[in-house]
Structure 1
Amino acid sequence: MQSSAFALSPTTPFLNTRKLTNRSSYLRFYSISLSSSKKSFDLNPIRDDSGLPAPRSLPFRSLSRFNSWISSPPLASDRGKKSFQAEATSIPESAGESAKSSSLNRTLELGVLFGFWFLFNIYFNIYNKQVLKVFPNPVTVSTFQFFMGTVLVILMWGFNLYKRPKVSGSQLVAIIPLALVHSLGNLFTNMSLGKVAVSFTHTIKAMEPFFSVLLSLLFLGEMPSIWIVASLLPIVGGVALASITEASFNWAGFWSAMASNLTNQSRNVLSKKVMVKKEESMDNITLFSIITVMSFIMCFPLTLFMEGVKFTPAYMQTVGLNVKEVCVRSVLAALCYHAYQQVSYMILQRVSPVTHSVGNCVKRVVVIVASVLFFRTPVSPINSLGTGVALAGVFLYSRVKRIKPKPKTA
């Protein structure tokens, strides 16, 4: 039997410790016996004089080399960490700035729209009053305003300034009653403006919430809360106080303004009662455009029947009117009427109905003050108090509309 033995140590020239990947490679082996019969390996570690296994110690030199080999550089330097943190914190700051910028732009846009809404309304009432004062034909004036609105709608659709809608038969049937009450509302408003002062007409029109609650109760079955009923008291009381002390008061102007309130609020109730299918719904601007065209079609034959053809240069000259002045102011009044209605619907698409109602209350105050200053309408202190109380009631009504009744528990 032949055997061979090898003594291996880390100092063997042809073994490089840097290439060893196992710590057991640093152990010194005493002998490796190879037997041809048993074919086994006998690996015995070196023992000391006491017979115990020698401790597995590594040479200091080899250990230092091993430590230097397994050591690794840091993943990122401090400078890299600082730059990474700076970039991470800059993201939410830019997002916050963009959100603030978007909110500011939206606020500015709403401010501009509200400003144009008030401005167009002021000029409409002033020019309209000037025309009706010398040309007391409210049906003709109303029809001309719808005619100018129809021209603007056709131009808007023709030049693709706004998408031309595809109206179905069911939509036309639903819009007809809305166009009817819209026409009557404008007609009664012009009748009132021709009879009484602009400020008094708008004071009476402050009673719109009263008719809204009444019609909603009668036709929709909506029971008003105690807060809504309480807010109606100053409205009714303020209008009554202003009517008693109004210098230009007459019953024709008073009941015309009341009829305008009734028809305008009937339009709102009908829009809830006569619902169009969701797949056939349209936006507010398109709806108003269609209502304007239909109102002109309805009012034109009514004008011929009630007042005849009077909006002509020949007729105006026979009654001693300045044709150019009347025509220019009529056109401006019609343009302002259509413009403030369009802007009103644009605002309604951007804000809640309650916010729009508050804006409408402020608009009425602005119109009353502007008309009093422009026409130098005599206003007594009691009349001013009544108007102020009525408008305060309208504002209170718009606020309590936010209060939702608590659901009844079984």
Structure 2
Amino acid sequence: MICSIKQSTVTPTINGSDTTSRRKNMSAIQRYLVLPSLNANKSKPVLSVSKPLHVSRVESFALSKPQKRTLITCKAYEADRSEPIEVSGVKPEAAKKVKIGIYFATWWALNVVFNIYNKKVLNAFPYPWLTSTLSLACGSLMMMISWAIRIAEAPSTDFEFWKTLFPVAVAHTIGHVAATVSMSKVAVSFTHIIKSGEPAFSVLVSRFLLGETFPPSVYMSLVPIIGGCALAAVTELNFNMIGFMGAMISNLAFVFRNIFSKRGMKGKSVSGMNYYACLSILSLFILTPFAIAVEGPQMWAAGWQTALSQIGPNFIWWLAAQSVFYHLYNQVSYMSLDEISP
């Protein structure tokens, strides 16, 4: 068998008289050069070369030149081992943390604005039951308009959903009214100092009623919270028992609301925004008859005339602002649950 390698104008010939080193090199080349042909009379294939083969470029067989690695690699993963896609070098976990931080900052800013306007309204119009009712009514109206004009997609609910939502709405109504009553009797700062003890209520309720246990560090962290609330209550110059008890009741009610909300949202296809919208609507139906019974239209009419005569048209703006911002800051807090919840 004769095999020739042709490169440029010189064609070297490799035959049986070559040296042993050339035979070894030739054996590597022959793996790529042999052409198979089948003998019809025999069952086993026979490999043969009928003509000399010429190779113009040895590099084409990648024997002397390694291939270059591509910069783009494609990998396939199983469904349960898939890796998250990173967009523009930003990890999904980092983006999620930033999004949650934005939610918390927005919630805090909207809450501050609500507290300012709510206190202005209560100073001029000291009827916390009606003020609380108007806040829920404004939020419910905003969401129903959003659903009607399709700014937001209306939730798909059933009787079981509203049944699960009912205890959440009861706790939300009690907490909302109690906090508003507290702010109508004392300074906003005092109310929020007392309400800052809500983590202590959450731990105690979870421990004694739900049977959940926490590490000792969690219980130790409650000591400065409880001590700060007690110190603020003792040193408050305009201390009012109704205001103090309203803040304490609000803490307890919101703890149960949060517990019921987390349980109610599990397995539900309703988003956080629509969940709070449904919560506002149901709370409005619960609160309205109690507001009428406690205060009544006659007291509201007299207080309305007094507020308009003292403040003027700005009072209407204050009332609308506190109602809108109340709904917005609560809505943002429930939207953040979509990101926090697993």
Aligned counterparts of 2:297 and 2:216: Cα–Cα separation in 1: 51
Choose from 244, 253, 257 the match for 1:263. 253
Is 1:189 the counterpart of 2:174? The answer is: no
In the alignment, residue 158 of structure 1 is paired with which amino acid? Answer: A
Please list, as runs of the form range in 1=range in 2, the aligned pairs for 1:6-405 lying within 5 A after superposition. Answer: 57=17, 69=54, 72-75=57-60, 84-85=68-69, 87-88=71-72, 98-100=88-90, 109-271=99-261, 278=267, 280=268, 282-309=270-297, 315-318=303-306, 320-351=309-340
Query: What does residue 357 of structure 1 align with?
Result: none
Distance 1:88 1:170, change over 3 A: closer
Report % sequence identity: 32
Structure whose alpha-carbon radius of gyration is higher: 1
TM-score using structure 1 length: 0.62
SS, match of residue 340 in structure 2: coil
Q: Secondary structure at the match of 1:75?
A: helix
Q: CA deviation at 1:268?
A: 2.5
Alpha carbons of 1:314 and 1:81: their partners in 2 closer, same or farther (altered >3 Å)?
Answer: farther
Q: Which runs of 5+ in 1 are unaligned?
A: 1-9, 11-16, 20-25, 28-55, 354-410
Query: CA 1:170–1:282 in structure 2 vs 1: closer, same or farther (change >3 Å)?
Result: same
CA distance in 1, matches of 2:86, 2:135: 47
Retained in 2: the 8 A contact 1:194–1:253? yes
Q: Contact 2:156/2:270 (CA < 8 Å) preserved in 1? A: no
1:198 to partner: Cα distance? 1.1
CA distance in 2, matches of 1:67, 1:186: 96
| 3-state SS in 1 of match to 2:58 | coil
State the shift of 1:224 in Å.
Answer: 3.7
Q: What CA distance in whole angstroms lies between the structure 1 residues aligned with 2:310 and 2:61?
A: 89
Asked if 2 retains the 8 angstrom alpha-carbon contact of 1:316 and 1:323, the reply is no
The runs of 5 or more residues in structure 2 that have no matched partner are 5-13, 24-50, 76-84
- Is the CA contact (8 Å cut-off) linking 2:202 and 2:255 kept in structure 1? yes
Q: Verify the 8 A CA contact 1:196 1:253 in the aligned structure 2.
A: yes
Q: How far apart, in 1, do the equivalents of 2:181 and 2:95 lie?
A: 41
Tell me, in whole angstroms, the C-alpha distance in 1 between the residues paired with 2:199 and 2:124.
32
TM-score (norm 2): 0.73
- Once the two structures are TM-superposed, the CA of residue 304 in structure 1 deviates from its matched residue by 1.4
In structure 2, how many angstroms separate the alpha carbons of the residues matched to 1:288 and 1:89?
A: 45
Distance 1:231 1:147 in 2: 38
Please give the alpha-carbon distance, in whole angstroms, between the structure 2 residues aligned to 1:349 and 1:96: 21
Show the counterpart of 1:401.
none
Q: Is the 8 A contact 1:193 1:201 kept in 2?
A: yes
User: What is the SS of the residue equivalent to 1:220?
Assistant: coil
CA contact (8 A) 1:310 1:316 kept: no
Kindly provide the amino acid, as one letter, of the partner of residue 286 in structure 1: N
SS of the residue corresponding to residue 297 of structure 2 reads coil
What's the counterpart of residue 391 of structure 1?
A: none
> Can you list the C-alpha shifts for 1:336-359, whole angstroms capped at 9, x where unaligned?
111111111222322369xxxxxx
Distance 1:231 1:154, change over 3 A: same
Residue 296 of structure 2 aligns with an amino acid whose one-letter code is: G
How much has 1:249 moved relative to structure 2?
Answer: 1.5
> Match for 2:141: what amino acid?
V
User: Residue 57 and residue 235 in structure 1: after superposition, are their counterparts in 2 closer, same or farther (change >3 A)?
Assistant: closer
Question: Relative to structure 2, which stretch is displaced further, 173-182 or 262-271?
Answer: 262-271
Residues 271, 335 of structure 2: 8 Å contact kept: no
The number of equivalent residue pairs is 291
Q: Which moved more, 1:254-263 or 1:222-231?
A: 222-231
The letter of the residue matching 2:293 is F
